[in-house]
Structures are given as structure tokens and as C-alpha cells.
Amino acid sequence: MTSRNPWVYAACQAGGWGLYTLMNVLLALVTPSMEGGAPLHRVVLLCTIGSLVGVCVTHLARSRLNLREWVRLPMRALAVRVVGASLGLGAVQTLLAFLAFYPFIASPFSASHPHIQLVGFLYPLTIWTLVMFMWLLIYCTVHFIHHARTVELERWKLEAAAQSAELRFLKSQLQPHFLFNCLNSTRALITEDPQRAQEVVTRLSSLLRYALASREPETVSLERELQVVRDYLGLEGVRLDERLRVREDVAPEALGAPVPAMLVQTLVENAIKHGIARMPEGGEVTLSAHVREGALCLEVTNTAAPASTPPAPHSSGVGLHNASERLRLLCGAGASLQLDQSQAATTTARVRIPLPA
């Protein structure tokens, strides 16, 4: 019954008012006294005229009152509007019906037609008010169901978009070239150092399991996040060997702080990708986490590559942008992620997460 389905609306109007006409005719046949013993063709004519007037009144009400928007109102406001509109439309319908009946009767208010005398105006007014109330009730119910379905559909679309974003996020964390490098390194280690090859496979398995399970829950303790970061650094250590040096400075009271899953891993991956891996001599990655003034202060610092060094491949900045957005959504507006490149020798990613009181 929306403007995008005019034929459905027209069919409902024709069907509803046609059924109303038929019911009135049948009722007049069963109880002839209601129409003063009028002939059948006259009864049919008057009932048809009344229904046609009703079609016009309800159609004008639909276009003038913007009824489709009423379903968005609170229930009390909607009920008040429906009752008020029923009274108004009932009065208009009654007046128009009298005028339409006039050519077929001697006088709308004559003594020969007591059922439509002025004093009997309240009777048809009550009937038409009830008819309009039923029409509005059906119309609003249909649109309420349509509105609820639309809202539900939009919610499904939002959930699908969120899941798609999560999938893209996971893909951004586990780049294929990283996996290929790990697998190639493992293949080389199988004959040279089988024990270390087993360790690499274990770390890779742990990292994959953590990444795939990071959708639920959204946040994890810093201690749990650091476990997967160490697995990741262990894998990168196989590839970079002595070029990668790692230092941790994590306060014990910071280990229980909640952080978005994969946040620290993303920062460390970014530090290696854009810093250590670009330099032949490698560099150092420092992880520090402390609790200060009711907030977790986390820093990931890496040796900065010289400005003349070619940029890392696939440097789109999507990883840090995603991490910043997730941090804001999960930890509130008080949380922040800043990349400090003011020092020529180092690059530092600083994260501040307010802790629950």
C-alpha cells in the first residue's frame, strides 16, 4: 500500500469498499426495515454511492494527511491521531454522503426519511466514524508491518556490512605474502632445524586460531593479546633472523586491561612492515604498556627507516585506519591512537584506552 505499489493500494481499496457495499446490500435484504422497504436497485445504488464517496474521502486523507509517516509515531500519539482522524473523516463522509444521496431522495432532512433527519445525523456519523476507524486501523497496521520489515531488512544489511568489514579486517591482518613467507621459511627449516620448524608451525597455528576467533569477543586482555603478538614476532624472527630485535616493557598491572582484539598485533605488524623490514640492517621493536591516570598507555616503537628507503609494498594505511576505528567504536571517544613520526630515528604508535572505574 505504499506509493511504490499503487496497484496493490488500488486493489485493496476496490476490494475493501466493494466488500463493504456487498455487506450492506446483504444486510438490507435480510432486514428490509433498515432501508424503509426500498427496492433492491435503490438500496444497491445508495450503498454504491456511499462506498464511492468513502473511496474518495480515504484516498484524499491518504494523500493529504501523510498517513504512511504515522507508523513512526509513538503508540499514544498514533492512537490520538487515529481517533481524531476517524471522527473528522466520519463527519466529512457523512456530509458528502448526504449530498450524494440528495438527488435520490426528496429531502435529506425531511420527515419522510427519519433515518437521515438532522436529529438523526449522529447515527450515520457514528457508523461512518467506525468505518473510517477500521480503515485507518487496517491501513496503519499494514504500513506498520511494512515499516517493521524494512527496519529489520536494514538491520540485516548493517550486520552483513559489519561482517564484511570484519572479514576485510582479518584479511588485512594476515596478508598472503606473510603466510607464504612463513610456509617457505618452515619448509627450509624442516631439514635444517626440525625442532624450530615445529615451533614455527605451532606459532602460526596459534596466530591463525586467534585471528579467526577475534570476532568474539571484541576485546581481550592485554596479556592474551601479547601472547599472539609474541607468536607473530616469533614468525617474523624466522624470516628476519638477527635483523629483528624485540624489547618489552609491560607493567604487571597493565596485563588485565581490555584491548580490542588484534590491535597490538596490527601495530607491531605495521612497525615491522614499514620500519624494520625496509632496512638491510634491521632494527628494534619496543613494546611498552603502563597504567597512568586511569588509562592504559600503550606504545609500539620501531626503528624508523631512512626517508630515502623505498616504501613498503601495499602501503595503503588501511590497517592503522581500521585499528583506530575499532578502538573508537569499542572503547569510546576517550580512546585514541596516534602515530608519532616527529623523531627521525624512531616511529611510535601511541594508544590510550580509558579503564573502567
The CA-based diameter of the chain, rounded to the nearest angstrom, is 116
User: Is residue 355 packed enough to be buried (19+ CB in 10 Å), middle (13-18) or exposed (0-12)?
Assistant: middle
Q: Report pLDDT digits (tens) over 151-182.
A: 888 777 666 656 655 655 555 555 566 677 67
* Nearest CA-CA partner of 202 in 173, 171, 232: 232
Considering only 52-56, 119-123, 138-142, 257-261, which range has the smallest mean pLDDT? 119-123
Q: Report pLDDT digits (tens) over 103-155.
A: 665 444 444 454 445 555 677 888 889 989 989 888 888 888 888 888 888 77
Q: Which pLDDT does position 108 carry in this prediction? A: 45
* Calculated CA dihedral for residues 261, 264, 265, 266, nearest 10 degrees: 90
Considering only 47-56, 228-237, 304-313, which range has the smallest mean pLDDT? 304-313
| Three state DSSP letters for 107-162 | CCCCCCCHHHCHHHCHHHHHHHHHHHHHHHHHHHHHHHHHHHHHHHHHHHHHHHHH
3-state secondary structure of 38: coil
Q: Residue 280 above 80 pLDDT?
A: yes
pTM (predicted TM-score): 0.50
Q: Which pLDDT does position 102 carry in this prediction? A: 64
Q: Which pLDDT does position 258 carry in this prediction? A: 92
Confidence of residue 2 (pLDDT cuts 50, 70, 90): very low
Could you give the angle at which helices 263-274 and 222-240 cross, rounded to 10 degrees?
A: 20
* Nearest CA-CA partner of 174 in 201, 204, 200: 204
* Nearest CA-CA partner of 272 in 305, 228, 309, 310: 305
Q: Residue 330 above 80 pLDDT?
A: no
DSSP 316: -
More reliable by pLDDT, 147 or 353: 353
Distance CA 296, CA 354 (A): 6
Q: Which pLDDT does position 150 carry in this prediction? A: 82
Chain-wide mean pLDDT for the chain? 80
Q: Residue 324 above 70 pLDDT?
A: yes
